[in-house]
Amino acid sequence: MAVRALWWSGDGLDLIDQRELPARTRIRHLRTLPQVAEAIRGMAVRGAPAIGAAAAYGMALAQRSRRMPPDRAARLLAATRPTARDLFVGIEVARAAWAAGGDALAAAEGYRRAIVEECHAIGRAGAPLLARKERVLTHCNAGALATVEWGTALAPIRVAHDEGRKLFVWVDETRPLLQGSRLTAWELAQERIPHAIIADNAAGYFMQRGEVDAIIVGADRIAANGDFANKIGTYEKAVLAREHGIPFYVAAPWSTFDPGTPRGDRIPVEERGPDEVLRLSGVATAPRRSRARNPAFDVTPHRFVRGFITPAGVLTSRQLGPALRAHARRAVDAPRRAAEQLT
Ligand code: MRU
């Protein structure tokens, strides 16, 4: 596994600053909770499982500094980005350990390990779907950078590629912050997985021409009925996939499932600042007086999803129900068990 997004290093959290990729691989060393909160808000680290892990380490740093109680630390981190369910799970795993007199760092390490194992399992579960599906389209970055290692949407592609299967990946560039062209393409290039970057508005063209065999995306939050939030632009890809009879899959670890949110319209959608739309790499791409709207995510109804690729296999939205509630519990239990093994 070539890429790792973040890791604990001596007295703090090391992470790849994803804003600087692909031009530079700069590692940032974070020693305080406010530094971690700023890295999440400013998207030096992004992708739902990765920000969950970063937040758990942020809690560990707060515990070590002895400057604030666990609940205050949790509130500061929870205010960074509202949509990714994993953020709140990562915070809670570390907060619960700390509040019970335990070591938040061991909890964070356990959380990170559990995510990595789950993403590898997603890869093994999803790879058989690609047996005859050589041309896969993905949106945003749901790779190792977004999840610590392996990825969610990219994990089945990685596993199938490692098994020697012939694959080709269509990479949506993913405006406005270009997570597809800057990050997904960077990961695929490192592992020499054949791919091509396309403008977001070119996806329909290739689907219509019969050049897309399957679509796999990640998710930031999956409601109990299977509606899910993911990077803005995902919804339209799902609708187009239905029109063209292309199977559409969502890959996610348990920490992304939210049984407490019944339907997609209850998922909070982050709206970010207009400059991300009005400027590209700091250069204005619109008239000075123009305004912009910048929702970071959209919500796709479950009826567009052929299957959810989970660590326990591929589930349809009909199979989510009670099974999902049981598995989502593991989002908290699995890291706790891993932390216990470490202490
Ligand atoms: O705004 P971002 O870059 O954090 O959005 C990330 C996504 O939408 C990913 O697709 C999602 O978090 C899944 S990551 C495995």
Give me the pLDDT at residue 320, please.
80
Give me the pLDDT at residue 310, please.
95
* Residue 81 resides in a domain: yes
CATH code: domain of residue 266: 3.40.50.10470
Residue reference for tokens 């910048």: 294
Together in a domain, 126 and 237: yes
Give me the pLDDT at residue 327, please.
65
Give me the pLDDT at residue 319, please.
86
Q: How far is the CA of 50 from the centre of ligand 1 (A)?
A: 9
State yes or no: pLDDT of 34 exceeds 90: yes
pLDDT digits (tens, 9 = 90+) for 83-117: 999 999 999 999 999 999 999 999 999 999 999 99
pLDDT digits (tens, 9 = 90+) for 207-257: 999 999 999 999 999 999 999 999 999 999 999 999 999 999 999 999 999
Under the phi-then-psi rule, with left for phi > 0, alpha for psi from -120 to 50, and beta for the rest, what region is 307?
beta
Give me the pLDDT at residue 340, please.
55
Whole-structure pTM value: 0.95
Together in a domain, 249 and 268: yes
Q: How far is the CA of 325 from the centre of ligand 1 (A)?
A: 23
Ligand 1 atom at shortest distance from the alpha carbon of 296: 1
User: Domain range spanning residue 100?
Assistant: 6-119+331-342
Q: How far is the CA of 342 from the centre of ligand 1 (A)?
A: 29
Together in a domain, 67 and 143: no
Of 122, 174, 228, 231, which is best to mutate to test ligand 1, by the most ligand atoms within 8 angstroms of its C-beta?
A: 231
Of 21, 45, 83, 179, which is best to mutate to test ligand 1, by the most ligand atoms within 8 angstroms of its C-beta?
A: 179
Give me the pLDDT at residue 163, please.
94
Whose Cα sits closest to atom 15 in ligand 1?
Answer: 142
The residues annotated with a catalytic role in the active site are 220
Q: How many domains is the chain partitioned into structurally?
A: 2
- pLDDT average, residue stretch 128-133: 83
Q: How far apart are CA 158 and CA 217, in angstroms?
A: 14
Question: What band does 11 get if pLDDT is binned at 50, 70 and 90?
Answer: very high
State yes or no: pLDDT of 179 exceeds 70: yes
Q: How far apart are CA 38 and CA 60, in angstroms?
A: 16
List the end-to-end C-alpha distance of the chain, in Å, as a whole number. 27
Together in a domain, 195 and 285: yes
* Residue 316 resides in a domain: yes
pLDDT digits (tens, 9 = 90+) for 288-343: 999 999 999 999 999 999 999 999 999 988 888 766 667 656 655 655 555 555 44
Together in a domain, 102 and 135: no
Percent of the chain with pLDDT over 70: 92
Burial 186-214, CB ≥16 within 10 A → b, else e: bbbeebebebebbebeebbebbeeeebbb
Query: Across all residues in the chain, what is the average pLDDT?
Result: 94
* Residue 1 resides in a domain: no
Q: How far is the CA of 102 from the centre of ligand 1 (A)?
A: 31
Together in a domain, 40 and 67: yes
Ligand 1 atom at shortest distance from the alpha carbon of 231: 8
Q: Which of 123-137, 146-160, 207-221, 287-301 has the lowest mean pLDDT?
A: 123-137
CATH code: domain of residue 52: 1.20.120.420
Which strands form 168-172's sheet, in the order they lie side by side? Answer: 195-198, 168-172, 135-138, 214-217, 248-251, 307-310, 313-315
Q: Output the ligand 1 site: residues, CB below 6 A.
A: 46-49, 84, 140, 142, 146-147, 152, 179, 218-220, 230-231, 296
Find, among 342, 285, 269, 308, the residue nearest to 108 by Cα: 342
Together in a domain, 244 and 127: yes
Find, among 61, 54, 72, the residue nearest to 103 by Cα: 61
Q: How far is the CA of 46 from the centre of ligand 1 (A)?
A: 6
Give me the pLDDT at residue 317, please.
83
